[in-house]
Amino acid sequence: MTLNRPSHPVPADPAVHPAWLPEAAFAPLGSRRVALVLDDASPVADTVRAEVTAALAAHGGAAVEAAEAADVVLALRPADAAPQFQSDGDLDPEAFTYARAGGVVTVTASDARGLLYGLFHLVRLGERAFTGADVVERHAPHTPLRMLDHWDNIAVHPVMGQVERGYAGGSIFYEAGVVREDLTRVAQYARLLAASGVNRVAINNVNVGPAETRLLDDLLPDVARIAAAFRPYGITTHLSVSWASPVRLGGLATSDPFDAGVQEWWAGAADRVWAAIPDFGGFVIKADSEGQPGPFAYGRTHADGANMLAAAVAPHGGLIHWRAFVYNHEQDWRDRRTDRAKAAFEHFAPYDGTFADNVIVQIKHGPLDFQVREATSPAIAAMPRTRVAPEFQVTTEYLGHQKHAVYLGRMWSQLLAFPYWGQDGDGSRSGRTMADVAAGRHPLGDGTRVGGLAAVSNVGDDVFWTGHPFAQANLYAWGRLAWDPTADPIAILDEWIALTFPGATALVRETLHAILDQSWETYEMYTAPLGVCFMVQPGSHYGPSPDGYEYSPWGTYHFADRDGVGVDRTRATGSGYTGQYPAPWSDVYESLDTCPDELLLFFHHVPYSHVLHSGKTVVQHVYDTHFEGLERVLEAARRWTEAQDAFPADVAERVTERFAEQVRSATDWRDVVNTYFLRHSGVADAHGRTIY
């Protein structure tokens, strides 16, 4: 079928920054002759037609009927293309084959979703897609579940605002206590997500308030409207739900998962949701955590709770994403036996193998809370018979609130590649990573427990989507790494630069690369050192406050005193947390001789005079990194000042304003943290620099 079939327009609000899909990015494709073989009437197929039609209209290319006359062939059925490009029998609906032969580029897929991803692959490659030697490449996502969780509130929360931990304005879904009437912005967002590889979105906060509970009830038609905006780009809609929904909405006296009335209520709720949205994805739930209700109130386990919901959604093919962020947030700081880092493992690992097949246990990548540096969560490796989804945070709650230029691709790449069972050892386990576990490749599993990857979105109604224009790179990188965790995060950064600033000069490209390449490591330098966590202002989590949480009930301590600093999590003398890891890490982290420097204070309490593997003492490392971190920020700001006139005026104005704040904040961090450690240790800086 050709491009003559009517199709919906490509959604776009011209007042909003186009991010990595400016019109110019489509020029290499849109200037060529394109044959589209797409005998499909689905919404995603319509999107492929619309995208190609718009690109050709904008850039002077032509739609052609016959593949023989085309420079580019996009074919839904491999049989419609040349034999060498036919499918090998893998029917992954999101996979596609990209081939270049005899001057013709061919993209084939077994489903319109795969063809859409293949189309965006051509856009990413630009002119490189059409030049060079002949090639045949097959592309498929690492896992079928690549999710973004929005922490958006319908009703503006008196403390957290409309988007909890959001640093880019209000919600793109909700305004003034209702779902927005105009969802053009949501459709544009769906397009950006599809172009990066995300395929599922939960549209409301996991801390579900009374207004958000109504999304299962009278506001369900509005959820259907949001789902309709996502559907053309192959994105499935999910909802966060409250465990107390049967009480809040159904008037029941209990939410006990063993109560027949509760089970019946949830089954009816699922029936109503899928009747309104047949391709609905399922529910996300935060239970028994930070004040949210859950099955503990009835003496039930998390497996009991998750499985009850799983039974309700199973007839519809639905999923339950059950978050493992469960811990005691009313801890007595005097009690060193309690260790918040141990909580997820203790609450969930004992129930491995008891969760229903359609339950995915969503576990934060680290055992605490999205810190700038913390160990990987041992709970992710502890459940071979459970579907697991490691959870990340794209919004920078502890990494500068999108006021600082901090690219997280390198951080996520390291975490996803973490080899839970070591690099050497038994060949059946060697090198298996966090990303492997997410894809169901746990070395002790049967290969069927395919989970996924999830992250908290950083998007708001800001004109740049993410507050800081450079924070767009994190949203883009999240989708790209979720699709392929082995991808080079720096190549992804350069890819984002090329797409977002098409035709950019060498000055623009080099400046952005220099500012963002090692910005995560820079941020770590001037904030919390060596795996110390939570040295932030309580509540806001922005700016330095070394003892802000030290005597709080939240269980986020570093135990700094006149003699030393760090948390003893060893089996020999501490909380025993190291024992939750499989070998070799249980022993690597246990020993001062082998514990990596960057995690030393996460696992050990040591004197300030302790000598790191780098050869420096702990306290001198603190001084040196905080001075160097600020110098790096000043150098980045200098480079930006020299290059800002080469950027669009609106981008230049916003970034300049953000750099002023980053310099101020990094200076504050340097002075507060260095002074804190000087006053605790009494050890002077070896270089005699000013510390207050």
Whether residue 330 lies in the annotated active site: no
Whether residue 597 lies in the annotated active site: no
- Of the residues 39, 127, 217, 290, only one is catalytic, namely 290
- Of the residues 46, 212, 222, 397, only one is catalytic, namely 397
Whether residue 137 lies in the annotated active site: no
Helix residue ranges per DSSP H, 23-136: 27-30, 43-59, 112-125
Which helix (H) or strand (E) covers residue 295, if one does? none
Q: At how many degrees (to 10) do helices 220-230 and 260-276 cross?
A: 50
Rounded to whole angstroms, the Cα distance separating 390 from 394 reads 13
Checking DSSP bridges between strand 161-163 and strand 152-157, what pairing results, if any?
antiparallel
Rounded to whole angstroms, the Cα distance separating 472 from 303 reads 37
Rounded to whole angstroms, the Cα distance separating 194 from 37 reads 21
State both tokens at 665.
């904040």
Distances (CA, A) of 233 to 50, 131, 201, 224: 11, 28, 12, 15
Rounded to whole angstroms, the Cα distance separating 400 from 665 reads 9
Distances (CA, A) of 197 to 112, 114, 200, 484: 14, 11, 10, 9
Rounded to whole angstroms, the Cα distance separating 376 from 201 reads 24
The HSE-up count of residue 422 (CA atoms within 13 Å, CB side) is: 14
3-state secondary structure 610-666: CECCCCCEHHHHHHHHHHHHHHHHHHHHHHHHHHHHHCCHHHHHHHHHHHHHHHHHH
Cβ atoms 65, 84 nearer than 8 A: no
Q: Would you list the DSSP string of 545-596?
A: -TTTTTTSTT-------SSEE-----TTTS--GGGGSPTTHHHHHH-TTTS-
Q: Would you list the DSSP string of 524-545?
A: HHHSS-TT----B-TTT--SB-
Cβ atoms 11, 191 nearer than 8 A: yes
- Of the residues 369, 374, 436, 524, only one is catalytic, namely 369
Distances (CA, A) of 691 to 64, 165, 546, 590, 627: 70, 32, 16, 33, 10
Rounded to whole angstroms, the Cα distance separating 303 from 307 reads 6
Number of residues assigned to the chain: 692
Three-class SS state of 444: coil
For the beta carbon of residue 230, count every other beta carbon within 10 angstroms: 25
Q: What are phi and psi of 520, to 5 degrees?
A: -65, -45
Catalytic residues, by residue number, are 290, 369, 397
